[in-house]
Amino acid sequence: MLAYIARRLLLMIPTLVGILLISFAIIQFAPGGPVERIMAQLQGLDSGATGRISGGGGDIGAAQMQASDTGYRGAQGLDAKLIEDLNKQFGFDKPAPERFLKMMKDFLFFDFGRSFFRDTPVLQLIREKLPVSVSLGLWMTLLSYAISIPLGIRKAVRDGSTFDIWTSAVVIVGYAIPSFLFAVLLVVLFAGGSFWQIFPLRGLTSENFDQLSMLGKVADYFWHLALPITAMAIGAFATSTFLTKNSFLDEIRKQYVLTARMKGLSERQVLYGHVFRNAMLIVIAGFPGAFVSAFFTGSLLIENIFTLDGLGLLSFESIVNRDYPVVFANLYIFSLLGLVVNLLSDLIYTWIDPRIDFETRQV
């Protein structure tokens, strides 16, 4: 097992390099860039996401002052010296291979530099946004598993019954509804849209959060999370529900279950004493992957709708603004976590079922 883990860890290095190299190469051919964004902003042509960034950043402010001094704006164009200075400031005066090698060297020590448009260290930005994304991903995953596992077991036990049919219909409909559309419905109904003002629509906590008691802080925290988590979880438990059901059905039909029943064990003893451990192997092992998926990919629109400043919103604004340090830092961290989680899932498999041996598996 140690040899297998070592091989997997070593393979992460070329995998990460390949992901970053392909993304870096694509960006070199993509139209626009941070310099072009600043030029468009100085000429009054930029109405994109950069206008939403608070503070504007020291780089943009300095560039605007310099452009004002030169007097080159609009149809007259911008001073060539200013453009040259911007390219040098952002590192674009160096060849692409040299820039990529420097980026990889810095990433090795988790040095992601500073944001082009926020004048803030990238790692600090990620730390500031992390609590929101972790909250959404963790509680949504726990809620979906808390619903899907008991429901999947119940559906397997009553396979083909009326309960199984109508719950399948409900789950499929919930899965088919986009989370952002359901989020809008929740806002209209319960967040002061057109009906009731029960839940808040902004932030993760209230303004007086620090003044609340411990119990009040917990209640306030979940009060703010109620609608976003509900919107994200409505379709998230469909896959794990059917996976749980099918896993239990496969195990129930095996010979050892028939033998256990012939020995006089009750249905509950057979189900939870013998079937549960084997059937839950795939479901439990997939928990880390489900959490990471919800953590990084499921919260962008939800964060926008409920005004939650998390990693999803940060990534979106960074891509729109060509804020390459933030874009590549997020890509690096997400890719690294994804590779680690895949390895963790394999280790969970062996922990749950020692019969699985990855030592002889070809990676």
Select the more confidently predicted residue: 222 or 355. Answer: 222
pTM here is 0.71
pLDDT at 43: 65
Q: Supply 184's token pair.
A: 């809008």
263 and 157 share one domain: yes
**How high is the pLDDT of residue 354?**
67
Task: For residues 116 and 189, state if they share a domain.
Answer: no
pLDDT digits (tens, 9 = 90+) for 284-329: 767 776 767 666 655 677 887 887 888 878 888 888 888 888 889 9
Number of domains in the chain: 2
Residue 274 has pLDDT above 60, yes or no: yes
Residue 52 in any domain: the answer is yes
Comparing 282 with 15, which gets the higher pLDDT?
15
pLDDT attached to residue 33: 72
Instruction: Answer yes or no: do 56 and 149 share one domain.
Output: no
Average pLDDT of the segment spanning 335-346: 83
281 domain-assigned: yes
Domain membership flag for residue 57: yes
**What is the extent of the structural domain holding 99?**
32-123
- Cα–Cα distances in angstroms (integers) from residue 104 to residues 6, 127, 239, in the given order: 22, 21, 37
Q: In this predicted structure, what is the pLDDT of residue 65?
A: 41
Task: Give domain status of residue 25, yes or no.
Answer: no
65 and 37 fall within a common domain: yes
63 pLDDT band, cuts 50/70/90, is very low
With respect to residue 20, please indicate whether it lies within any of the assigned structural domains: no
178 and 103, same structural domain? no
Q: Is residue 113 part of a domain?
A: yes
Q: Among 126, 42, 47, which residue's Cα sits nearest to residue 86?
A: 42
Would the CA dihedral through 164, 168, 169, 171 be positive or negative? positive
pLDDT of 49 above 60: no
User: What percent of the chain stands above pLDDT 90?
Assistant: 6
Give pLDDT, residue 166.
Answer: 92
Residue 61: pLDDT above 60? no
* Judgement on whether residues 308 and 166 belong to the same structural domain of the protein: yes
What tokens were used for 216? 């009040």
Three-state helix/strand/coil letters over the chain? CHHHHHHHHHHHHHHHHHHHHHHHHHHHHCCCCHHHHHHHHHCCCCCCHHHHCCCCCHHHHHHHHHHHHHCCCHHHCCCHHHHHHHHHHCCCCCCHHHHHHHHHHHHHCCCCCECCCCCCEHHHHHHHHHHHHHHHHHHHHHHHHHHHHHHHHHHHHCCCCHHHHHHHHHHHHHHHCCHHHHHHHHHHHHECCCCCECCCCCCCCCCCHHHCCHHHHHHHHHHHHHHHHHHHHCCCHHHHHHHHHHHHHHHHCCHHHHHHHHCCCCHHHHHHHHHHHHHHHHHHHCHHHHHHHHHHHCCHHHHHHCCCCCHHHHHHHHHHCCCHHHHHHHHHHHHHHHHHHHHHHHHHHHHHCCCCCCCCCCC
Question: Has residue 44 been placed in a domain?
Answer: yes
Q: Can you give the pLDDT at residue 194?
A: 73
Does 361 score more than 60 pLDDT?
no
Same domain for 119 and 140: no
The 3-class SS string of 200-231 reads CCCCCCCCCHHHCCHHHHHHHHHHHHHHHHHH
Residue 162: pLDDT band by 50, 70, 90 thresholds? Answer: very high
Backbone angles phi, psi at 156, to 5 degrees: -70, -40
Both 65 and 181 in one domain: the answer is no
Whether 100 shows a pLDDT value over 50: the answer reads yes
Predicted local confidence at residue 210, as pLDDT? 83
| Averaged pLDDT, 101-105 | 90
Least confident of 61-70, 143-152, 290-299, 306-315: 61-70
Q: How confident is the model at residue 271 (pLDDT cuts 50, 70, 90)?
A: confident
Question: Does some domain include residue 13?
Answer: no
Q: Which residue has the higher pLDDT, 61 or 337?
A: 337
Least confident residue range of 174-183, 211-220, 280-289: 280-289
Nearest alpha carbon to residue 338 among 1, 104, 24, 12: 12
CA atoms within 13 A on the CB side of 140: 30
d(CA 81, CA 36): 14
